[in-house]
Structure formats: structure tokens, C-alpha cells
Amino acid sequence: MGKYCHLDTASAQLLNQAITSLGLSARAYHRILKIARTIADLAGDTSPTVSHVAEAVLQYHRV
């Protein structure tokens, strides 16, 4: 996933903090990363930003 989805430092920290605080698995990490990448693609951005990761965490955690 790192080959196609590069996170900046702030986005990676947010994702790691969400995984730790919510007690999510490695599978959840990759699914959230996929969702963030999709949101970034729909927004026309080349890589996910903090807002994309935050939205992905919210959407994943609601399920």
C-alpha cells in the first residue's frame, strides 16, 4: 500500500493514533488507508491528507 499511498507525517500520526486509541487491527489500518485513498482520488488529490484520513477513520468507525 505504501507504494501507491504516501502519507505525510501528520496524516500518518493521525492514523496511528486512531488505530491505537480505538484498538483496531492491522486489517483495519489497511482498510482505513484504502478509504482515505479513495476519498483523495474523488477529491482530485494525489495523496491522502489529514482531512481524508480523518474522514476515513470516521466512516470506518461508524460501521
Say what the pLDDT of residue 15 is: 96
pTM: 0.88
Say what the pLDDT of residue 2 is: 60
Say what the pLDDT of residue 51 is: 97
- Rounded to an integer, the average pLDDT of 46-58 is 95
Say what the pLDDT of residue 61 is: 81
> Can you tell me the distance from the alpha carbon of 46 to that of 49, in angstroms, rounded to the nearest whole number?
9
Give 2-43 pLDDT, tens digit per residue. 677 789 999 999 999 999 999 999 999 999 999 999 999 999
The sign of the CA dihedral 7, 54, 1, 47 is: negative
